[in-house]
Amino acid sequence: MAFITFEILLWILFALSLVDANKRWGLNKTLLFFVPLFIYGWILEASAIGIFQRYEYGDGFFVTLFGAPLCIAAGWAAITYSGFCIAQTYTQNHFKIAAFTALWGLSIDFSMDGLAVLMGYWTWFAPADVVLPYFDVPVSNFIGWFIILSFFSFFHLRWQDTKIRKMLFGFDAVIPALPALLIAIAIMLESEYERLFITFPWWLMLIIFIVPLVVILSVWLLKKPNLSQFEDTQSFKVPLLISHALHGFFFIMSIYVGITSGDWRYLIVALVAGVPLLAHGIGSKQQGTDSAQKLAIN
4, 33, 99, 136, 211 from 84: Cα distances, Å: 27, 11, 10, 29, 22
Contact 114, 134 (CB under 8 A): yes
Residue 239: HSE in the Cβ half-sphere, 13 Å Cα cutoff: 22
Angle at 20 between CA 16 and CA 24, to 5 degrees: 165
pTM above 0.85, yes or no: yes
Long-range interactions of 155-163: CB distance < 8 A, separation 24+: 156/33, 156/84, 157/94, 157/97, 157/98, 158/94
What letter does residue 52 receive in the DSSP assignment?
A: S
Pick from 34, 39, 42: which is nearest to 67 by CA? Answer: 42
Per-residue pLDDT of the chain (298 residues; tens, 9 = 90+): 678 888 999 999 999 999 999 999 999 999 999 999 999 989 888 887 766 677 888 888 888 888 889 999 999 999 999 999 989 888 889 999 999 999 989 888 888 887 888 788 888 887 667 767 677 788 778 888 899 999 999 999 999 888 888 888 889 999 888 888 888 777 776 666 666 766 777 777 778 878 888 888 888 877 766 655 554 455 678 888 888 888 788 878 878 878 887 777 777 777 776 777 677 677 666 655 554 444 444 4
